[in-house]
């Protein structure tokens, strides 16, 4: 955990069951068949010199440094490309080998700058190391001949440099971009002496297809590709393993440190979710954690028109507690509540819901998962019996047909997308169901067999028509259904989807997808081998989000695609800890482990552990809190790590509700949009400043480890504890591990989870209990968690959000790789270089009709509100559909989205809003008001009074 350098065995692990024994320099070594001689040697502590090999990449055999002598074999083979064989006798050292290696090294060094002492790679340069290993003492060729020492640097990427003068053309970067990342942005151009690394068609890295994942930087054995932070700060002296705080992939990283200062983030090759890979956010977009905008002192104010006043922690906590008590005394116990966030750790989220249930004395707690994956919990629990995805990420490597519905993995879950692309390049088939042409539809060496370009809002119609084909064409896996599922529910479902109204031909008019294409896709999914479904918010954020999740589960059960590797139903969770925040009981109706608050036995268990009596009635969901606030019944809110004023739909409705409250306490890193309506600000801590755990989209619990002290004195869990104590509900944890111990004690799926066990295993996929002591990579093996799988009827009900002459287009929303949700973190990094504003994508046909050209300002009006964005004209979207991202508050994407929501869970219908788009010349009225309000709040932050502002 504290080591800086991970050991690299030179070529990738082979996991075959057949073992081979050989002799290397007189040592006997036994390894799986297919292992390279180089790796076998390394595993027996025999180091063979190497330059072009690394265990992250398949061997290439270009540098000739790793030659060995093998008895009975002609010549001197490269150990990186030579597989082991039974009885093989290998010699890695002799005079001839030493001479060849020195000769090779001499050639490299004769065209390499000798500025080792000032080079950023000094101390971890493999070229330098190998020069030492082979005993290079002179360079006979001198430096006067043709060389590359003056080759120009490419500094275009904000996070790394490319110094061509130091390149040894080992092609590790090219292979990393191909094999690990799957972007294929790099090539080796030219031949022999003229060979150089080139990004795209000889462009700068920034202008090329490069997505700045950093895999090439990590693979480079020299200083050619180097992180700018490393060049600036020098090498780290220790490292600590932790987990990325961005998306639901949950990549493991080594935070490389100089004391309390972060030098760089290096993806951990032992990371079970990422296997040494990363994306631009996790590796590079870390600057927000130490950004000058961070608020490090607690603040209070009476009214939101007052200037903020910095106060001591004691005063802030005391004031917050007094206000909450005052409100409850005046308006009743249910007049306050709390919201936690999927950005928080499990332990923090657990404490917030405990504070609300035990300290506030009600169940008014909710989480941002309400607005993303709450339908997943509902839909999967009711069909399969567990509210979570069925597989681990590695399972995709066994999939034969991959069905991606309403997800954009290359932007939203980039590291998993790279793994998926690897499988697709190996030959798995791809079906994409999405209104928009996401990158996965056509990307280097990958083309979707079917792109079902459905109209937004018609998911359920599509899933029913896919099911119709499977049922009516005899493609149901009868044995699986008979043994594993409820017969009665299956029969009802089968009869329902077989109805003519659900046929692709009948549904074509609704979905817009040609019936023949639906039929072909259904046949491929049902008969193409292991079928795996991956879905995202394009499934859940609809008025029928829960219905669609059930439809997906039905389809997987009917085709026998659950309960083993390579198949399953896999929700791609958006944020780092969406799964965890749901697991931790942050919904108003459920305790940790998805147990209903009305269950007397469960409640008694929590009452015993927490020492209070608890309520058996579900509390308010976020939208109900807003309604109650506008009705005058809900007056106080504690928000930890969530920005509802930007992320929730119908912004004007949300801000009206916030304005109607008497005490809003915001705990966050920055003065976010919600904090502009707050009365108490409690500084939050970044993931680098605390211990805890995150649970990723695979149910994988991973440790978050403190690498620096909290910049504002307290980690978030400590702040919640201070508030609980001030309210008179005692909490006395001294470390988050104690919180996890309590979670484990009270949550059956977490029984055997502890920090010790996490340290031992690296990460754990729940359930982890006596039946599954090592965790559970694949769920529903043998039987479903609920016993028999249950088919549920999924009648298609069109959304109430209709297009008409006034609002003829449908707006749908999504994310982009370089930004993350409300953008509070990524907007405070160089990632803005890739995406500095949200734009609206519009089809050329719709643009032309409206006289809109690329870059024009476009007014977008819906029934909820209007905003103005600049146009991007593209055929990625279909005619009649426009698309935007929501990473910048001033874009006001959620000013347009409506209050429509999923019938079962209230998850907002972000993906379907009827709008009109027109060419305009100035910001919308809302945007003008927003700018004014923001300027005022920023001035109030600096201490100016409203009166002073009024006179400015
Ligand atoms: S940073 Fe990633 S995408 Fe860019 S060239 Fe390197 S490996 Fe390829
Ligand atoms: S940039 Fe680095 S990894 Fe790529 S070819 Fe040059 S030395 Fe090798
Ligand atoms: S894929 Fe997700 S978890 Fe991994 S580095 Fe990127 S943002 Fe972080
Ligand atoms: S390390 Fe084997 S040929 Fe380069």
How far does residue 172's CA lie from ligand 2's centre (Å)?
A: 6
Q: Say whether pLDDT at 1 is over 60.
A: no
Distance (Å, whole) CA 218 – CA 849? 48
Residue 948 pLDDT level (bands cut at 50, 70, 90): very low
Q: What is the mean pLDDT of residues 385-394?
A: 92
| Ligand 2 binding pocket includes 54 (Cβ within 6 Å) | no
Is the Cβ atom of 50 under 6 angstroms away from ligand 4?
Answer: yes
Q: For residues 141-167, give the mean pLDDT.
A: 85
For residue 49, the 8-state DSSP code is P
Angstrom distances, CA of residue 414 to CA of 44, 180, 213, 391, 689: 35, 11, 9, 18, 25
* Pocket lined around ligand 3, Cβ cut-off 6 Å: 244, 246-247, 249-251, 274, 278-279, 281-282, 414-415
- 91 contacts 10 by C-beta, under 8 angstroms: no
Note the pLDDT of residue 2: 37
Report DSSP state, residue 372.
Answer: T
Cβ–ligand 2 distance for 53 under 6 Å, the answer no
Residue 910 Cα to ligand 3 midpoint, Å, equals 23
Q: How many Å lie between the centroid of ligand 3 and the Cα of residue 163? A: 27
The residue whose C-alpha atom lies closest to atom 3 belonging to ligand 2 is: 220
Mutation to probe ligand 3, out of 245, 285, 289, 413 (largest number of atoms < 8 A from CB) = 413
Sign of CA dihedral 405, 411, 414, 417: positive
Q: Whose CA is nearest to atom 6 of ligand 2?
A: 167
Ligand showing the shortest atom-to-Cα distance for residue 820: 3
Pocket test for ligand 3, best of 251, 834, 887 (most atoms within 8 A of CB): 251
Q: Is the pLDDT of residue 32 over 90?
A: yes
- Which tops the pLDDT comparison, 136 or 285? 285
Q: Mean per-residue pLDDT for 726-753?
A: 97
How far, in Å, CA of 831 to CA of 840, rounded? 19
Instruction: Report CA(58)–ligand 4 centroid distance (Å).
Output: 11
- Over residues 539-570, the pLDDT tens digits come to 998 889 999 999 999 999 999 999 999 999 99
> For residue 65, which ligand has an atom nearest its CA?
4
Ligand 2: residue whose CA is nearest its atom 8: 170
Give residue 216 CA to ligand 1 midpoint distance, Å. Answer: 5
**Residue 142 banded pLDDT, cuts 50, 70, 90:** low
Q: What is the mean predicted confidence (pLDDT) over 14-37? A: 95
> By alpha-carbon position, which residue is closest to atom 5 of ligand 1?
210
- The mean pLDDT of 647-673, rounded to a whole number, is 93
Mean pLDDT of 357-364: 97
Confidence of residue 949 (pLDDT cuts 50, 70, 90): very low
Tokens representing residue 689 in the block: 């400043």
Q: Which residue's alpha carbon is at the smallest distance from atom 6 of ligand 3?
A: 279
- Cα 270 to averaged position of ligand 2 atoms, centre (Å): 24
Which has more confidence, 427 or 800? 427
Average confidence (pLDDT) over 253-258: 97
pLDDT band at residue 121, thresholds of 50, 70 and 90? confident
pLDDT at 723: 98
Q: What pLDDT score was predicted for residue 374?
A: 82
Give me ligand 4 centre to Cα 234, in Å: 28
Determine if ligand 4 sits within 6 Å of the CB of residue 68. no
Residue 370 has pLDDT above 80, yes or no: no
Give pLDDT, residue 837: 92
What is the mean pLDDT of the segment spanning 697-710? Answer: 96
Ligand 1, atom 7, residue with closest C-alpha: 177
Closest ligand to residue 815's CA: 3
**What's the whole-number mean pLDDT along residues 457-464?**
97
Measure the CA–CA gap between 194 and 199, rounded to whole angstroms: 16
User: Which pLDDT value is given to residue 3?
Assistant: 42
143-157, 279-293, 701-715, 854-868: the lowest-pLDDT one: 143-157
**Cis bond upstream, residue 767 (ω within 30):** yes
Taking 80 as the threshold, does the pLDDT of residue 177 lie above it? yes
pLDDT confidence bin for 575, thresholds 50/70/90: confident
pLDDT at 151: 79
Binding-site residues, ligand 1, Cβ < 6 A: 176-177, 181, 183, 185-186, 210-216
pLDDT at 946: 47
Alpha carbon distance 812, 841 (integer Å): 10
Nearest CA to ligand 1 atom 2: 213
Range of weakest confidence among 155-159, 359-363, 927-931:
927-931
Q: Report the chain's mean pLDDT, rounded to a whole number.
A: 93
3-state helix, strand, coil in the chain (%, to 5): 35, 20, 45
Mutate to test the pocket of ligand 3, among 215, 217, 242, 249 (most ligand atoms within 8 A of CB): 249
Which ligand has its closest atom nearest to the C-alpha of 415?
3
pLDDT mean over 795-804: 92
Contact 822, 887 (CB under 8 A): yes
Q: Distance from the CA of 106 to the center of ligand 4, in angstroms?
A: 16
Could you tell me which residue, 465 or 368, shows the higher pLDDT?
A: 465
DSSP notation for 182-216: ----EEEESSGGG-EEEETTTB-TTTSS-----HH
pLDDT at 10: 95
Number of neighbouring beta carbons within 10 Å of residue 880:
16
Query: Could you give the count of Cα atoms lying within 13 Å of 581 in the half-sphere of its Cβ?
Result: 31
How far apart are the CA of 450 and the centre of ligand 3, in A? 28
User: Per-residue pLDDT tens for 623-638?
Assistant: 999 999 999 999 999 9
Give me the mean pLDDT over the 824-839 stretch: 92
Mean pLDDT over residues 657-661, rounded?
96
Q: 3-state class of 564 per DSSP?
A: coil
pLDDT of amino acid 824: 84
Q: At what angle do helices 716-726 and 346-354 cross, to 10 degrees?
A: 10
Provide the pLDDT for residue 107.
Answer: 85
The closest-lying atom of ligand 4 relative to the alpha carbon of residue 64 is 3
pLDDT by residue (tens digit) across 308-329?
Answer: 999 999 999 999 999 999 999 9
Residue 563 CA to residue 432 CA, distance in Å, equals: 23
Q: How far is the centre of ligand 1, averaged over its atoms, from the C-alpha of 394 (Å)?
A: 22
pLDDT at 367 over 50: yes
Best residue among 62, 82, 127 to mutate for probing ligand 4's pocket (most ligand atoms within 8 Å of CB) is 62
Q: Which of 183, 188, 818 to mutate to test the pocket of ligand 1 (most atoms within 8 A of CB)?
A: 183
Question: Could you say which ligand is closest to the alpha carbon of residue 416?
Answer: 3
Is the CB of 51 inside a 6 Å radius of any atom of ligand 2?
no
**Integer Cα distance of 495 and 474 in angstroms:** 13
At 752, list the tokens. 């055997």
- When mean pLDDT is compared across 35-39, 94-98, 194-198, the lowest value belongs to 194-198
CA of 225 relative to ligand 3 center, distance in Å: 21
The pLDDT tens digits of the residues spanning 3-23 come to: 455 689 999 999 888 999 999
Question: Under a CB-based contact definition with an 8 Å cutoff, are residues 69 and 88 in contact?
Answer: no
pLDDT range class, residue 143, cuts 50, 70, 90:
low
Residues above pLDDT 90, as percent of the chain: 82
CA of 587 to the centre of ligand 1 (A): 40
Directed axis angle between helix 459-472 and helix 487-497, to 10°? Answer: 100
Mean pLDDT, residues 913-937 taken together: 93
Residue whose pair of structure tokens reads 């279909």 in the numeric block: 878
Output the CA 817–ligand 1 centroid distance in Å. Answer: 14
- Give residues with Cβ within 8 angstroms of 671, minimum separation 6: 293, 295, 681, 937, 938, 941
What integer pLDDT is reported at residue 5 of this predicted model? 54
Q: Is 78 in the pocket of ligand 4 (CB under 6 A)?
A: yes
Q: Looking at ligand 4, which residue's alpha carbon is closest to its atom 3?
A: 61
Q: Which atom of ligand 2 is nearest to the CA of 176?
A: 3
Residue 516 has phi, psi (to 5 degrees) of -60, -35
User: Which residue has the least CA distance to atom 4 on ligand 1?
Assistant: 210
Which has the higher per-residue pLDDT, 484 or 134? 484
Q: Output the pLDDT for position 43.
A: 95
């Amino acid at each position: 955990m504290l080591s800086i350098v991970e050991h690299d065995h030179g070529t990738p692990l082979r996991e075959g069951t057949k073992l081979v024994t050989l002799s290397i320099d007189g040592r006997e070594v036994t390894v799986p068949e297919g292992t390279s001689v180089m790796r076998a040697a390394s595993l027996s502590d025999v180091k063979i010199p190497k330059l072009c090999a690394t265990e992250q990449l398949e061997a290439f055999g270009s540098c000739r440094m790793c030659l060995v002598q093998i008895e009975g074999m002609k010549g001197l083979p490269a150990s990186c490309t030579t597989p082991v064989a039974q009885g093989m006798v290998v010699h890695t050292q002799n005079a001839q080998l030493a001479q060849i290696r020195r000769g090779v090294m001499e050639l490299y060094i004769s065209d390499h700058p000798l500025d080792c002492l000032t080079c950023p790679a000094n101390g971890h340069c493999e070229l330098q190391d190998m020069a030492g290993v082979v005993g290079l003492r002179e360079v006979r060729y001198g430096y006067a001949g043709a060389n590359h020492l003056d080759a120009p640097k490419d500094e275009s990427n904000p996070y790394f440099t490319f110094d061509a003068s130091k390149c040894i053309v080992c092609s590790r970067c090219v292979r990393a971009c191909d094999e690990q990342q799957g972007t294929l942005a790099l090539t080796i151009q030219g031949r022999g002496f003229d060979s150089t690394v080139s990004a795209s068609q000889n462009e700068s890295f920034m202008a090329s297809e490069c997505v700045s994942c950093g895999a090439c930087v990590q693979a480079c054995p020299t200083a050619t590709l180097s992180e700018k932070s490393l060049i600036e700060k020098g090498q780290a002296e220790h490292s600590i393993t932790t987990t990325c705080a961005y998306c639901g992939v949950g990549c493991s990283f080594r935070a490389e440190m100089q004391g309390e200062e972060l030098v760089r983030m290096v993806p951990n090759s032992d990371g079970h979710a990422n296997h040494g890979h990363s994306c631009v956010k996790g590796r590079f977009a870390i600057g927000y954690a130490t950004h000058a905008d961070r608020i490090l002192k607690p603040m209070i104010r009476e009214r939101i028109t007052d200037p903020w006043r910095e106060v001591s922690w004691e005063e802030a906590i005391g004031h917050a507690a007094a206000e909450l008590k005052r409100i409850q005394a005046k308006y009743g116990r249910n007049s306050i509540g709390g919201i936690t966030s999927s950005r928080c750790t499990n332990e923090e989220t657990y404490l917030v819901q405990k504070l609300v249930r035990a300290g506030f004395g009600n169940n008014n707690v909710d989480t941002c998962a309400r607005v993303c994956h709450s339908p997943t919990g509902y839909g999967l629990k009711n069909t399969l019996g567990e509210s979570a995805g069925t597989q681990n990420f590695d399972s995709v490597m066994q999939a034969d047909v991959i069905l991606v519905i309403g997800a954009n993995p290359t932007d939203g879950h980039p590291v998993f997308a790279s793994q998926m692309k690897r499988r697709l390049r190996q030959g798995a088939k791809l079906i994409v169901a999405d209104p928009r042409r996401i990158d996965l539809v056509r990307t280097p060496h990958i083309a979707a067999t079917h792109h079902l370009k459905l109209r937004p809002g018609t998911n359920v119609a599509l899933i029913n028509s896919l099911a119709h084909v499977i049922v009516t064409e005899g493609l149901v896996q009868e044995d699986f259904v008979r043994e594993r599922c409820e017969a009665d529910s299956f029969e009802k479902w089968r009869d329902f989807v077989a109805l003519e109204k659900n046929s692709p031909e009948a549904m074509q008019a609704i979905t817009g997808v040609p019936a023949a294409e639906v039929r072909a896709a259904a046949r491929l999914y049902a008969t193409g081998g292991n079928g795996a479904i991956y879905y995202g918010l394009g499934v859940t954020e609809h008025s029928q989000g829960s219905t669609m999740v059930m439809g997906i589960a039905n389809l997987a059960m009917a085709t026998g695609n659950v309960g083993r590797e390579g198949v399953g139903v896999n929700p791609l969770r958006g944020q780092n800890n969406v799964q965890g925040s749901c697991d931790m009981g942050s919904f108003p109706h459920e305790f940790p482990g998805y147990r209903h608050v009305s269950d007397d036995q469960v409640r008694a268990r929590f009452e015993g552990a927490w020492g209070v009596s608890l309520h058996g009635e579900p509390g308010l969901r976020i939208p109900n809190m807003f309604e109650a606030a506008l009705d005058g019944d809900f007056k106080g809110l504690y928000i930890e790590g969530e920005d509802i004023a930007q992320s929730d739909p119908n912004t004007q409705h949300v801000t009206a509700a916030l304005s109607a409250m008497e005490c809003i306490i915001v705990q966050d890193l920055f003065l976010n949009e919600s904090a502009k309506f707050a009365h108490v600000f409690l500084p939050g801590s970044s993931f680098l400043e605390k211990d805890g755990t995150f649970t990723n989209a695979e149910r994988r619990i991973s440790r978050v480890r403190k690498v620096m002290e909290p910049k504002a004195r307290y980690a978030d869990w400590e702040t919640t504890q201070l508030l609980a104590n001030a309210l008179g509900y005692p909490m006395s944890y001294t470390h988050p591990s104690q919180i996890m111990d309590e979670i484990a004690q009270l949550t059956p799926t977490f029984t055997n989870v502890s920090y010790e066990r996490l340290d031992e295993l690296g990460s754990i996929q729940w359930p982890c209990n006596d039946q599954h002591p090592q965790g559970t990579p694949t769920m529903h093996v043998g039987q479903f968690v609920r016993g028999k799988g249950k088919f549920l009827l999924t009648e298609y009900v069109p959304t109430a959000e209709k297009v008409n002459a006034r609002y003829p287009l449908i707006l749908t929303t999504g994310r982009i790789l370089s930004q993350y949700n409300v953008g509070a973190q990524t907007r405070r990094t160089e990632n803005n270089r890739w995406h500095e504003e949200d734009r609206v994508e519009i089809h050329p046909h719709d643009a032309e009709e409206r006289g809109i050209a690329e870059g024009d300002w476009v007014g977008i009006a819906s029934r909820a509100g209007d905003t103005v964005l600049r146009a991007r004209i593209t055929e990625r979207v279909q005619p009649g559909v426009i698309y935007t991202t929501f990473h910048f508050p001033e874009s006001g994407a959620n000013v347009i989205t409506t209050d429509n929501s999923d019938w079962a869970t209230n998850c907002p219908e972000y993906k379907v809003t009827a709008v009109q788009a027109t060419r305009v010349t100035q910001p919308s009225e809302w945007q003008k008001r927003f700018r004014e309000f923001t300027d005022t709040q920023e001035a109030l932050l600096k201490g100016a009074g409203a009166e002073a502002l009024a006179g400015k």
